[in-house]
Chain A
Amino acid sequence: MKIVKGWFLASALTLVAGEAPAADPGCIVVQNVAEMEQLTSDAAGKQSVKLVPATKVVPGDTVIYTVKFRNRCDKPADNVSVDNPVPEHMVYVADSAIGPNTDVSFSVDGGYHFGKPETLRKKDADGTERAARANEYTSIRWVMRHALAAGAEGYARFRAVLE
């Protein structure tokens, strides 16, 4: 949990910098970050991976999108759900959507319908219907199983590859 609090310190700084000037942020404060894994080697040649902001990418790079949210009110928020579209030119990485205490569903029609992977269908060019593939998902929805308590926080994350 210590690490999670560290994230929110960063998010508060970003808000001060004026990146997300919502008129009335309401009870839940939202921050969306795009990051990449960076492989580094220290002097001894030991390698480690850290997340760095993904401002610049090249085709084939994997980007990790994380939506962080926090209930800043003194009462719980119910029915919390997070929607995040898979951006144009990006392809969702199968099984990469995660979020503590959430049920994840997907859309293949731009966020109109959401469903579990096994319920999603796509039509081929010749009109035959088949199960949708993970690389065809257009949006992802995370629904929290419980209320988000006052002061509590959570996140919803997925990976996508730049085409």
Chain B
Amino acid sequence: MTRLQLALASCLVLLVARPAFAAGTPAGTIIPNTAQVTYTVGGSQVTTPSNTNTITVDERLDVVVTLQSPPLPVQGGDTRRGLLLRVTNIGNGDEVFSLAMTSAIAGDDFDPIPSIPAIYFDTDASGDLSAADTPYVAGSNDPLLVADAFVTVIVANDIPTGLVNGAIGRTRLTATSKTGAGPPGAIFAGLGKTGVNAVVGVSGGVANAVGVYVVSDVSLSNVKSATVQDPFGGSEPVPGARITYQIVVAATGTGTAANAVLDDPIPANTTFVAGSLRLNAVALSDAADADAGEFIAGASPAIRVRLGSLAAAAGNQTIVFQVTIN
């Protein structure tokens, strides 16, 4: 390799390894530079300034879209399910962006159905789709973002019916610089802020992010049964007889029921038997304390058992308690 080739190779690296700056020096900024040379001739010192060269900062068109929502659990037949995304102008000048959504994406299990309208601004900053949110209308309210500013956008889709649990559907939001998009380095002469050139940045002036819907059905079933023991060794529900209730809770489906709690009232004309509460054969104290269960006294007495996050894999949860007939 000759010295010239070496020099070229190192220059190429410099061009390719251009760092990604957020925003950076504003478009239209003028950067002057003047050097000076000082020397002595014949014993006297002279200082000579150079000419001043001037650089004008062009507008760089760069945008990024980031997904703000984790995969969203949905059920077949849901409507207007919103995913939150953020469109950020990472260029260095004011820029208007057009938005587009598509839910026909290959490689997922189902195509969500775009709601009408499908794109909203999170006007009330609630983080979810609500009545106050303004629908996006292409060409009418395209967002104008100053350098480094962002706008929060919600995309809404309906979920088809007849899907299996765990099925995944994707939707994509794309933001495109209205000045233009193209290969990085492409120049739109005079179209930048204050008439400077607009230069396409590393993003190409266009960016997207993909959100995910996950069909996640879960339902809890509970089956309650009772056995009676009377004081005479029989099973007659007479005063003084003891009733043992058993409740079996189970989750079905692919989802997880978060913070599942079972409350069961003590029937009228009966009295809870202190210390009789069990979860999966493990005794639970009557007090409201660190264990999973408690007896709630008062006008409407009840037992309460906190089952935590419950998925089908956890199997049956068996709760037992006893009352006596008054």
Residues of chain A touching chain B, judged by Cβ–Cβ distance below 8 Å, are: 14, 19-20, 22, 25-34, 37, 39, 47-49, 54-63, 65, 67, 69, 73, 75-85, 87-90, 148, 156, 161-163
Contact = CB atoms under 8 A, between A and B. Distances in A.
Given A80-B37, A85-B33, A56 B21 contact: no
A28 B20 CA distance: 40
A57 B58 CA distance: 5
B162 interface: no
A48 B9 CA distance: 9
Contacts of B11: 37, 39, 49
Interface in B1-60: 8, 11-12, 14-15, 18-21, 23-25, 29, 31-42, 45-46, 48-60
25 contacts: A14-B51, A28-B48, A29-B48, A32-B34, A32-B35, A32-B51, A39-B12, A55-B54, A55-B55, A56-B56, A58-B59, A59-B57, A60-B18, A60-B19, A60-B60, A60-B201, A61-B18, A63-B55, A67-B35, A78-B39, A79-B39, A80-B37, A87-B55, A163-B21, A163-B24
Contacts of A55: 54-56
Contact of A81 (B8, B37, B56): B37
Nearest to A35: B53
B60 to A, nearest CB: 4
B311 interface: no
A14 B34 CA distance: 16
A20 B36 CA distance: 12
A3 to B, nearest CB: 12
A138 to B, nearest CB: 13
Most buried by A among B48, B56, B60, B196: B48
Most A C-beta atoms less than 10 A away, residue of B19, B49, B50, B60: B50
B92 interface: yes
B60 A58 contact: yes
A113 to B, nearest CB: 16
A19 B196 contact: no
B92 A34 contact: no
Contacts of B46: 26-28
B91 to A, nearest CB: 8
B216 interface: no
B197 interface: yes
Q: Which 10 A-B pairs have the closest CB atoms?
A: A59-B24, A20-B51, A32-B50, A84-B35, A58-B60, A49-B11, A77-B39, A30-B50, A80-B39, A89-B25
Given A49-B12, A89-B29, A56 B58 contact: yes
Contacts of B50: 20, 30-32, 67
Given A56-B55, A58-B199, A34 B33 contact: yes
Interface of B: 8, 11-12, 14-15, 18-21, 23-25, 29, 31-42, 45-46, 48-60, 92, 196-197, 199, 201
Contacts of B52: 32
Contacts of A27: 39, 41, 46
B214 to A, nearest CB: 38
Contacts of B33: 32, 34, 65, 84-85, 87
A155 to B, nearest CB: 11
A107 B113 CA distance: 62
Contacts of A65: 33, 35, 53
Given A27-B41, A32-B35, A161-B19, A58 B48 contact: no
Given A81-B39, A83-B38, A57 B57 contact: yes
A30 B36 CA distance: 8
Contacts of B199: 58
B21 A59 contact: yes
Contacts of A37: 11, 14-15
Given A30-B49, A162-B24, A163-B21, A59 B92 contact: yes
Nearest to A154: B37
A34 B51 contact: no
Contacts of B21: 59-60, 163
Given A26-B48, A32-B53, A34-B55, A59 B60 contact: yes
B204 to A, nearest CB: 14
A82 B37 contact: yes
B191 to A, nearest CB: 13
A80 B38 contact: yes
B41 A82 contact: no
